[in-house]
């Protein structure tokens, strides 16, 4: 992936975790800056203008969600949350508060790198870039609304396309149920999740090689869905 050295800011209080994060990011050509608490992190986010922030929830001074809120009050920089809690409601709250994605500890570096790249890609996508999103054998032309699978055009209903469109614009990133329901049915009725599940099944029938074992449109239990390129899937396993 060709790009100028991205600056990543690590806001994490555990020095040992910062150490391997630094090693992992530097191996991939990132420039790393570190902050060991929330207020230092906020200062660094202002002065160093990072391209990406990795934010731990459990900080000694501020809660991670507060740091996220403050960053979001003036910046759209991609933020990926590190958390030890596997509570789905908490994940959904953070995503709604503006986090781009989350990774639950303990995690492998490949998984974090995949999320980071997806977030950067979405953030730095320029208007001149090709409006075609590719996920393995699937390609979605956001401008012409043309979807092809293995170069063969496939027909989607309006709602199926809407779903795929939202996921494609967030490729590699998780999109919450609530956001999908709100965008597709233009209402935030919570019981529409049944319709969403059924819509996902239908879409999988059309785009997945084996709809019972989806590789492209994957479920994030209790949180939402993610469109991913199969290569990433392999890496995160």
Partner 1 sequence: MSFGIVSLVTALLFLTEQTIATSLVPIAYLIPVIIAATRWGIWPATLAAIVSMVEADFFFFPPIYSFRVEDPQEAIDLLLFLVVALVSGNLASRLRQETETLRQRERDIHNLYDFLRRLAACFTVPDLISAIENYLSRTLGRPAVFFAARNGGLFEPPKFGAAPQAVMERVTSGAAPMGISGEAVTDRSTRNVWLLRTARSETAILGLVAVNIGTGSSDVLAAMTRRVETILEDVSLTLQRIDIGKAIEDARLRLQSQLLRDAFQGTMSHELRTPLATIRGSASVLESMPLIRGDDRARSLVEAVSDEVAELDGFIQTLLNATRVTAGGICPHLEWADPKDIVNAAIKARARRLATHKIDIEFSEDLPLIRVDVGLIEEACGQLLENAAKYSHSGSNISVRMGRKQDNVIVSICDQGVGITPDELPHLGEKLFRSQRHQATIPGSGLGFWIASIFVEANGGHIDISSEGRGMGATATITLPCSSTTPSDGHNR
Query: Could you say whether residue 20 binds partner 1 (CB under 8 A)?
Result: yes
Query: Could you say whether residue 17 binds partner 1 (CB under 8 A)?
Result: yes
DSSP notation for 162-191: HHHHHHHHTTTSEEEHHHHHHHHHSS--GG
- The CA distance from 147 to 134, in Å, is 10
* Number of residues near partner 1 (by CB under 8 A): 33
Query: Could you say whether residue 92 binds partner 1 (CB under 8 A)?
Result: no
Q: Which of 5, 14, 43, 188 binds partner 1 (CB under 8 A)?
A: 14
Q: Which stretch binds partner 1 (CB under 8 A): 9-17, 32-40, 72-80, 156-164?
A: 9-17
Peptide bond into 152 cis (omega under 30): no
Query: Could you say whether residue 62 binds partner 1 (CB under 8 A)?
Result: no
Minimum CB distance to partner 1, residue 189 (Å): 13
Q: Where are the beta strands (DSSP E) in the chain?
A: 7-11, 31-35, 52-56, 79-83, 101-104, 132-135, 138-141, 146-149, 152-153, 174-176, 217-220, 224-227
Q: Which of 89, 96, 124, 130 binds partner 1 (CB under 8 A)?
A: 89
Closer to partner 1 by CB, 73 or 212: give it. Answer: 212
Interacting positions 213-232 with partner 1 (CB under 8 A):
213-214, 219, 221-222
Instruction: Report helix, strand or coil for 24.
Output: helix
CB 68 within 8 A of CB 59: no
Minimum CB distance to partner 1, residue 64 (Å): 13
Query: Could you say whether residue 200 binds partner 1 (CB under 8 A)?
Result: yes
Nearest to 117 by CA among 237, 218, 228, 220: 228
Write phi, then psi, for 185 (nearest 5 degrees). -105, 5
Interacting positions 97-136 with partner 1 (CB under 8 A):
105-110
Binding site for partner 1 (CB under 8 A): 14, 16-17, 19-21, 23-24, 27, 58, 84, 86, 88-89, 105-110, 193-194, 197-198, 200-201, 212-214, 219, 221-222, 237
């Amino acid at each position: 992936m060709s790009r100028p050295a991205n600056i990543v800011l690590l806001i994490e209080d555990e020095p040992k975790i910062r150490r391997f994060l630094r090693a992992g990011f530097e191996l991939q050509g990132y420039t790393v800056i570190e902050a060991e608490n929330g207020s230092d992190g906020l200062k660094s986010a202002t002065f160093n203008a990072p391209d990406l922030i990795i934010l731990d929830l459990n900080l000694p001074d501020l809660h991670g969600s507060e740091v996220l809120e403050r960053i979001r009050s003036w910046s759209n920089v991609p933020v990926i949350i590190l958390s030890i809690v596997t509570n789905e409601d908490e994940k959904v709250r953070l995503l709604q508060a503006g986090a781009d994605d989350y990774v639950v500890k303990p995690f492998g570096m490949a998984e974090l790198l995949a999320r980071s790249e997806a977030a950067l890609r979405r953030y730095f996508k320029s208007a001149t870039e090709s409006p075609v999103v590719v996920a393995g054998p699937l390609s979605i032309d956001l401008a012409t609304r043309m979807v092809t699978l293995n170069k063969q055009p496939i027909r989607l209903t309006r709602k199926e396309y809407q779903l795929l469109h939202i996921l494609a614009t967030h490729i590699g990133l998780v999109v919450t149920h609530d956001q999908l329901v709100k965008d597709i049915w233009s209402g935030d009725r919570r019981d529409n999740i049944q319709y969403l599940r059924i819509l996902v099944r239908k879409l999988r029938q059309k785009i997945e090689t084996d709809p019972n074992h989806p590789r492209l449109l994957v479920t994030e239990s209790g949180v939402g869905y993610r469109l991913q390129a199969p290569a990433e899937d392999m890496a995160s396993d």
